[in-house]
Structure 1
Amino acid sequence: MTWNHELKYYYVDCINKLTKMEAIIAKFSVEDYHKMIEAGLLIYRDVELINGLILEMSPEGTEHTYIGETLADYFRRLTQGIAWVREARPITLTQSEPEPDIAIVRLPHSLYRSHHPYPEDIYLLIEISHSTLKFDTSEKRNTYAAANIQDYWVVDVNNKQLIIYRSPINGLYKNETRLSLDSQVSPLAFPDLNIIVNEIFNR
């Protein structure tokens, strides 16, 4: 009887200690992630790897899809022969493998037969943000800054503005610019290309 009484308090003490412990999150490397994909563990799952965590991607609404498709097509015409435009395809960073809505990367296209684009291959990343603005301007922003992505744009669908992040230093972007519809901007890699913000939303 005494033993049971002591055991009861032992269990209670253990439970109290467990409730005070911080949650331990298992993180995966890019190599782990690739092995899961090859093994078919993530088949039919719409996911991406962000800083070691496998995250479900939000479904696209019609406006998100429309803007993404038309903007990607616009950039294809502007950069034909000088860059390759990828839509919702992976890029490989040190601890992440996100799938930005648009990635403008260096040629030749055959480079990506054996691997996804690395940071040094990337001219410009663009995320179309409708319901994901907070994530794209915090976690995604910091992920891209840490990878030294020089030019990152967020198309803010709800507020009809373009947010531009540049000059990554020590894992953070030094420069943030918010452009309204009547503004123009050029990608860092292609200063001769003038993008009118209004055309992003009203093409």
Structure 2
Amino acid sequence: MLTIAKWSVEDYHKMIETGILNDRPVELLEGTIIEMSPEGPLHRKKCDTVAEYLREKLKGYAKVYEAHPVTLSNSEPEPDIAIVRLPVSLYDTRHPYPEDIYWLIEISDTTLTKDLEEKRLIYAKAGIREYWVIEVEKKQLRVFKDLAKYNYQQEQIYTKVEISPLAFPEIKLLVKNLVE
């Protein structure tokens, strides 16, 4: 029988500090160190465009991070975009924790199954109230919310409307600016 050794977030940080993981694009998911998919030009462009739009709309409300770690109980993923609470000085000595995170976004061009299944469950288990997946190929936004029993109870797909995140119902975001 095969037994897989799981790593804690603390173990993972020690590996990073000692340089063991230097030059390796990895993230910790459910105690397992996973190689991240290489980022293609379209993914980078879409991530940059969405982050710029969100920074404009959320100025003074939240910090928008691109491809930086967030620390969960047994995972340290690097979501494409994390919208976290201010002030940014909170993150001088640590990455954002679940209670700091308003919502997370993954841009899916080659990682759709992983984003819709594995990452969705990891984020739900961590208590992230809202999770968005931008499907590059279909030009649509999937929004997961209504968290209960370690899963999202509601999934909605948008293409052209205006939406508001749970954390900021007064802010209107044009879905076309996120998906096109």
User: TM-score of the superposition, structure 1-length normalised?
Assistant: 0.86
Structure 2 contact 125–150 (Cα < 8 Å) conserved: yes
Within the alignment, does 1:35 sit opposite 2:14 as a pair?
A: yes
Within the alignment, does 1:155 sit opposite 2:155 as a pair?
A: no
Within the alignment, does 1:136 sit opposite 2:115 as a pair?
A: yes
Structure 2 counterpart of 1:193, from 171, 176, 179: 171
Secondary structure in 2 aligned to 1:138?
A: helix
Residue of structure 2 equivalent to 1:24:
3
Within the alignment, does 1:71 sit opposite 2:39 as a pair?
A: no
Residue of structure 1 equivalent to 2:96:
117
Structure 1 runs not aligned, ≥5 long: 1-20
Secondary structure in 1 aligned to 2:152?
A: strand
Structure 2 counterpart of 1:102, from 72, 81, 91: 81
Structure 1 contact 50–98 (Cα < 8 Å) conserved: yes
Using the alignment, how far apart are the partners of 2:132 and 2:50 within structure 1? 12
What is the number of residues matched between the two proteins? 180
Using the alignment, how far apart are the partners of 2:110 and 2:30 within structure 1? 21
Structure 2 counterpart of 1:178, from 147, 157, 167: 157
Identity %: 53
Structure 2 runs not aligned, ≥5 long: none
1:201, distance to aligned residue in structure 2 (A) = 3.0
Secondary structure in 2 aligned to 1:91?
A: coil
Using the alignment, how far apart are the partners of 1:65 and 1:143 within structure 2? 23
1:103, distance to aligned residue in structure 2 (A) = 0.4
What's the CA shift string for 1:71-92, capped at 9, x where partnerless?
1011111111121111100000
Structure 1 contact 104–125 (Cα < 8 Å) conserved: yes
Structure 1 contact 146–168 (Cα < 8 Å) conserved: no
User: TM-score of the superposition, structure 2-length normalised?
Assistant: 0.97
What's the CA shift string for 1:135-155, capped at 9, x where partnerless?
000000000000010010000
Runs of 4+ that moved beyond 4 A = none
RMSD value, Cα: 0.9
* Structure of higher CA gyration radius: 1
The one of the two structures with greater contact order (alpha-carbon pairs below 8 A, sep at least 6) is: 2
Using the alignment, how far apart are the partners of 1:78 and 1:189 within structure 2? 13
